Amino acid sequence: MKKTAFIILTVILIVACGEIVTESKAIIKNQEGLEFLDKAEYSSAIKSFKQAIENPKLSIETKAVIYRNIAQTYYEMMEIDSSLIYSKLAAECYPKDSYEYLTNISDIKISSGETEEAEKLLLKAVKMKPNELAANNTLGAIYLGEFGIEFFDPEKALPYNLKAFEINNDRITEDVLGRNYLELGNYAKARSHYMKLHKEYPDIEVLAYQLGVIEYLDGDSEKAEIYFNKVIAKNPDHKFAIDAFKETNE
């Protein structure tokens, strides 16, 4: 799963009163889309984002934010062609070599399999704005091997994922941070994050699976079975993956 950067809009004041109303409605719909996204309800998220973008009087800044959220949601859905279209639309809203341009172009590079080029753009972007979400988020995902095992370096990933979580502690950023700790063998911190997430999102199977993995690797196979059985009860097809994990880690 891609660790992604979804952007929350703040109110943008525009001179014409009618445009303020339009902008405010777009912000509300964008927030609605983010809430659906946080629950992994991707189709509903896309619907809300597209309702937010449909008025032609929106500011360039608002359009760019919503385009990027649509692109990232399509990426989560593995609809790469659609993701690329909206990433390009988002990038075109910004001056070349701005932070926002670089982060959107990096999305295009990643979707095209050019991870090394994306990394260069993001490292440039994060120097420009070290406390912004997008570059930290995607660099953290790159160094967890999301876009090529040759980039896997969980120690390098950790500061970016910590910063992303500090900026926007939603489900996705916390999931990635928990996985980062898991990859580092810090089972206590990984468990803490996944226990919180599993309590908040009990229907998302991967969270129970990750808790099973943590307990198994930490030597408590009985507790691991409790979580694995929850996953299998929801979707018996996952039994093969769980058995393969156990065989690999005996």
- Ordered by start, the domain boundaries in the chain are 185-250
For residues 206 and 211, give the distance between their C-alpha atoms in angstroms, rounded to a whole number.
9
Q: Which CATH architecture has domain 185-250?
A: Alpha Horseshoe (1.25)
Q: What is the pLDDT of residue 55?
A: 76
Q: Residue 235: CB partners within 8 Å, gap ≥ 6?
A: 205
pLDDT above 90 (res 194): yes
Per-residue pLDDT at 202 exceeds 90: yes
pLDDT tens digits, one per residue of 121-142: 999 999 999 999 999 999 999 9
Structural contact between residues 66 and 52, judged by C-beta atoms closer than 8 angstroms: yes
Largest CA distance in the chain: 66
Cα–Cα dist 66/74, whole Å: 12
Q: 17 pLDDT exceeds 60?
A: no
Q: pTM to 2 decimals?
A: 0.77
Per-residue model confidence (pLDDT) at position 74: 92
According to the model, what pLDDT value does residue 22 have? 76
* Angle between helix 171-183 and helix 187-200 axes, rounded to 10 deg: 150
Q: How many CA atoms lie within 13 A of 153 on its CB side?
A: 9
